[in-house]
Chain A
Amino acid sequence: MPREGILVHNPYERMTKEQVRQIHHASMQILTDPGLISFNRRAAEIFASNGAEVTPVSSGDHPTWLVKIPEKLVLHALDSAPRIVKLGARNPDNALILNGEEPRVYFVTGSETNIWLDVEFPTYVKKSDPKIEIQVPEFRPRRGTVADLCQSAHVCEHLETLDGYIRTVNIQDKDITEDNKDVNKFFASLNNTTKHVMSGLTSLSQLDNVVNMARIIAGGEEELKQNPIISFITCLVKSPLQFVEDTTDTFIEVCKRGLPVVVSSSPQAGTTAPMKEAGIMAQINAEVLAGITLGQLVNKGTPVLYGSVPVRARMDNLDDSYGAVETSQYNVDCSQMARYYKIPNYSTSGVCDPRTPGTQSSVERLFSDILVTLSGPQYLHCAYGLLECNSVFCLTQAVLDDAHFQMIKFFLRPARIDETEIAESLKQIREVVATPQKLYISYIRRAMRSRQISPPYPFEGDRETDDVFALAYKRMQELLARPVDHIDPATTARIFEEIPGLLRRQVDGLKTEG
């Protein structure tokens, strides 16, 4: 049985059907005028051999081509792209079934950050009353390591609402190089969670090592096909409208291997995309459709996700502003476009602007988490633990986010109103009104125990001070102490024998670098 996720019965849509059609037609026009610049020769050749108009733009060391993709090619690709994509897992009960026509949402971590945020709780004494002491969280940023990634996967394995795992932190240990980063990040993730693992690829040269590792863990070639325990995310189109040389190569190779892959585009409204909603939507849709078309031309039927990570620019420094309200609008629109095409949607929420956890991070992430979830994307990369856009990861924040998603999931339960419920309620009302106390309390006991009543906020303190973070930290420590189901020793031994570049300390005991 796959994971249930949460089915959004009436997904929230901002656009009318006519507006959706208008965006589609605008995207089709963009794909032929101005078309896309390809820095990747193979993509240009594939498009040219399939009837697209491809014109060399420049030659030399960095040749480029102008690719104009006709609507017919896009529509064929949309026909052949699977509507249902399975993302497997080491524990088959953690598999995810993404149906492009069904707004069932799965919550997933990510993206990859460079900075890991440690937390300490120094004690402060009140000057005017030294008897009063409080503990205030202090945050210490540092470079992420393999040990951090393992810890993150370990805790995420135990977070109830979390359905899948995208690596949260870039491993930057001294002995990690471009040639061994991919195998180590995939192994660290796979060995510490039994949920689905998705990641980007640092080096194409490592793709086969990573796929072979997954094959060994899954139990063979066919087993991996049936239960794809890993998938990839690729940003092959750089906004505006450019096929990137190296990532496009990675995308083509992943498609050849038939593993699920996200075609992700991340335009920034105001700088790399128009600020206007119509403009950024037409462009991002064109960019994602161009990628999906390429994937289907490489390998018809290969499983792809419509990956949308649109963002608005900050007006003060032109950085990404994931906390901006418009960012949520764009993401909600993208969910609707993906559903129009019946392709599962990889969407984004929960990314926020501040550097440390606190009021602003809670407001921004909850705002987008609620709204984007309501739009019904199938695979919601909802930034558990992420701060300062995509720069910082804080594991305790991820634990806090789990509590947010418990609330959201509870809210999205379908309304329980039917003949039986009405009859039972009428009986209750009549009985209670006849009593002197007129209280319904005795009827809520069963409901409480059958999880029909939402639980209290798990990090509520009992003092005047705000203890939320300290309590979440304690919860994080409890989850870290709880064992995880690692890859079995025989399989691990085989992986270390056959896959080059793995750090022995991944299984011999890890220490976090200070």
Chain B
Amino acid sequence: MTEDIIDLIKENVIQGRVTQDDEGLEEGMAGEPGVTELVGEAIEQGIGLSDIIKTGLTEGMETVGQKFEAEEYYIPDMLASAEAVGAAMEILEPHLAENGIEAKGKIIMATVKGDLHDIGKNIVSILLRGAGYAVKDLGNDVDTQTIVDAVIEERPQYLGLSALLTSTMMQMKDVIQALTDSGIRDQVKVIVGGAPVSEEFARSIGADGYGADGFDAVRAVESLASDKAKG
């Protein structure tokens, strides 16, 4: 029974089905429980959280990654699966500590002040959730002080900043400066991205990482996490 439900979670991650209303890729799946329903059921049945995460969600995403590499899956498929995993992680989050499972990390995401563009930031948020991170999305056109306050309050390990305009990208520098001024710069790794942003620009404003696209943003976070683990 445990294996059945874990297999179903994995299969639904591969199909990218968040809820029972999602069609997935194969015919006849609509109406069947999706990842959120299945994870809820698994918790109710007392199935171990590490089994749900490792065998259901992580292995499911690994298969999705392989399919993407093999060009069988496209970016929308990756995002759908990541969204399913993200939704599952939100349900699991309150139960992680009591089960002695350490969260992968918390990330605050924001599109900076003056910039209303949020497609890229939203995609990065989905992918990060799919990779197992807890993401708090502050939205777009977020002023510097709101971002600093959120970092102080939420104590995330990472801060993701996005800007699509050349006229707003310098706001990222202001945020980093504000973090320094508040004495919390060393407590959070800042990753920046967006169409006009480059790795060189990221370095010039003192960011810790740069994501050229959604997948690269996840790689940047994973790389910083790995550096941190190595000390």
User: Interface of A with B (CB < 8 Å)?
Assistant: 436-439, 441-442, 444-446, 448-449
A442 partner residues in chain B, CB cutoff 8 A: 16, 18, 22, 76, 79-80, 83
Q: Nearest B residue to A440 by beta-carbon distance?
A: B76
Q: For the complex formed, measure the closest distance between the CB of B208 and the CB atoms of chain A, giving whole angstroms.
A: 25
- Complex Cα–Cα for A445 and B75 (A): 9
- The 8 A-B residue pairs with the shortest CB-CB distance, nearest first, are A437-B122, A441-B76, A442-B80, A445-B76, A441-B79, A444-B76, A445-B77, A439-B122
- Complex Cα–Cα for A448 and B77 (A): 10
- CB pair A446–B79 under 8 Å, yes or no, is no
Choice from A438, A446, A449 contacting B122 with Cβ under 8 Å: A438
- CB pair A448–B137 under 8 Å, yes or no, is no
- Complex Cα–Cα for A124 and B126 (A): 44
A444 partner residues in chain B, CB cutoff 8 A: 76
Asked, given contacts A436-B137, A439-B123, whether A445 binds B83 with beta carbons under 8 Å apart, the answer is no
> For the complex, is B74 an interface residue (Cβ under 8 Å from A)?
yes
Asked, given contacts A439-B119, A441-B76, A441-B80, whether A446 binds B23 with beta carbons under 8 Å apart, the answer is yes
Q: Nearest A residue to B18 by beta-carbon distance?
A: A442
- CB pair B25–A445 under 8 Å, yes or no, is yes
User: Interface of B with A (CB < 8 Å)?
Assistant: 16, 18, 22-23, 25, 74-77, 79-80, 83, 119, 122-123, 125-126, 137
- Complex Cα–Cα for A448 and B80 (A): 14
Q: Nearest B residue to A431 by beta-carbon distance?
A: B21
Q: For the complex formed, measure the closest distance between the CB of A438 and the CB atoms of chain B, giving whole angstroms.
A: 7
Q: For the complex formed, measure the closest distance between the CB of B41 and the CB atoms of chain A, giving whole angstroms.
A: 22
B18 partner residues in chain A, CB cutoff 8 A: 442
B122 partner residues in chain A, CB cutoff 8 A: 436-439
- CB pair B76–A449 under 8 Å, yes or no, is no
Q: Nearest B residue to A445 by beta-carbon distance?
A: B76
B22 partner residues in chain A, CB cutoff 8 A: 442
- CB pair A437–B23 under 8 Å, yes or no, is no
B83 partner residues in chain A, CB cutoff 8 A: 437, 442
- CB pair A445–B80 under 8 Å, yes or no, is yes
B125 partner residues in chain A, CB cutoff 8 A: 437
- Complex Cα–Cα for A58 and B83 (A): 86
- Complex Cα–Cα for A441 and B83 (A): 11
- CB pair B126–A437 under 8 Å, yes or no, is yes
Q: For the complex formed, measure the closest distance between the CB of B88 and the CB atoms of chain A, giving whole angstroms.
A: 15
- Complex Cα–Cα for A438 and B75 (A): 17
Known contacts A437-B122, A437-B126, A439-B126; 13 additional CB pairs below 8 A are: A436-B122, A438-B122, A439-B119, A439-B123, A441-B79, A441-B123, A442-B83, A444-B76, A445-B16, A445-B25, A445-B76, A446-B23, A449-B25
Contact sample, A vs B, 18 pairs, CB 8 Å cutoff: A437-B83, A439-B119, A439-B126, A441-B75, A441-B76, A441-B80, A442-B16, A442-B18, A442-B76, A444-B76, A445-B16, A445-B25, A445-B74, A445-B76, A446-B25, A448-B74, A448-B76, A449-B25
Q: For the complex formed, measure the closest distance between the CB of A105 and the CB atoms of chain B, giving whole angstroms.
A: 31
- Complex Cα–Cα for A446 and B22 (A): 11
A437 partner residues in chain B, CB cutoff 8 A: 83, 122, 125-126
- Complex Cα–Cα for A436 and B83 (A): 12
- Complex Cα–Cα for A449 and B24 (A): 12
Q: For the complex formed, measure the closest distance between the CB of A470 and the CB atoms of chain B, giving whole angstroms.
A: 20
Q: Nearest A residue to B122 by beta-carbon distance?
A: A437
Q: For the complex formed, measure the closest distance between the CB of B164 and the CB atoms of chain A, giving whole angstroms.
A: 15
- Complex Cα–Cα for A224 and B93 (A): 74
- Complex Cα–Cα for A446 and B25 (A): 6
B126 partner residues in chain A, CB cutoff 8 A: 437, 439
B74 partner residues in chain A, CB cutoff 8 A: 445, 448
- Complex Cα–Cα for A441 and B73 (A): 13
A436 partner residues in chain B, CB cutoff 8 A: 122, 137
A448 partner residues in chain B, CB cutoff 8 A: 74, 76
Q: Nearest A residue to B24 by beta-carbon distance?
A: A445
Q: Nearest A residue to B75 by beta-carbon distance?
A: A441
- Complex Cα–Cα for A437 and B127 (A): 12
A446 partner residues in chain B, CB cutoff 8 A: 23, 25
Q: Nearest B residue to A437 by beta-carbon distance?
A: B122
A449 partner residues in chain B, CB cutoff 8 A: 25
- Complex Cα–Cα for A449 and B25 (A): 9
- Complex Cα–Cα for A157 and B74 (A): 30
Q: For the complex formed, measure the closest distance between the CB of A431 and the CB atoms of chain B, giving whole angstroms.
A: 8
Q: For the complex formed, measure the closest distance between the CB of B71 and the CB atoms of chain A, giving whole angstroms.
A: 12
Q: For the complex formed, measure the closest distance between the CB of B214 and the CB atoms of chain A, giving whole angstroms.
A: 11
B76 partner residues in chain A, CB cutoff 8 A: 441-442, 444-445, 448
- Complex Cα–Cα for A446 and B126 (A): 20
Q: For the complex formed, measure the closest distance between the CB of A435 and the CB atoms of chain B, giving whole angstroms.
A: 9
- Complex Cα–Cα for A429 and B182 (A): 42
Q: For the complex formed, measure the closest distance between the CB of A160 and the CB atoms of chain B, giving whole angstroms.
A: 19
Pick from A438, A439, A441, A449 the residue with the most CB of B within 10 Å.
A441
B137 partner residues in chain A, CB cutoff 8 A: 436
Pick from B74, B76, B126 the residue with the most CB of A within 10 Å.
B76
Q: For the complex formed, measure the closest distance between the CB of B141 and the CB atoms of chain A, giving whole angstroms.
A: 15
Q: Nearest B residue to A448 by beta-carbon distance?
A: B74
B77 partner residues in chain A, CB cutoff 8 A: 445
Q: For the complex formed, measure the closest distance between the CB of A457 and the CB atoms of chain B, giving whole angstroms.
A: 16
B75 partner residues in chain A, CB cutoff 8 A: 441
- Complex Cα–Cα for A446 and B119 (A): 21
Q: Nearest B residue to A436 by beta-carbon distance?
A: B137
Q: For the complex formed, measure the closest distance between the CB of B109 and the CB atoms of chain A, giving whole angstroms.
A: 11
Q: For the complex formed, measure the closest distance between the CB of A454 and the CB atoms of chain B, giving whole angstroms.
A: 14
- Complex Cα–Cα for A437 and B128 (A): 13
Q: For the complex formed, measure the closest distance between the CB of B169 and the CB atoms of chain A, giving whole angstroms.
A: 22
Q: For the complex formed, measure the closest distance between the CB of B140 and the CB atoms of chain A, giving whole angstroms.
A: 11
- Complex Cα–Cα for A439 and B214 (A): 14
A438 partner residues in chain B, CB cutoff 8 A: 122
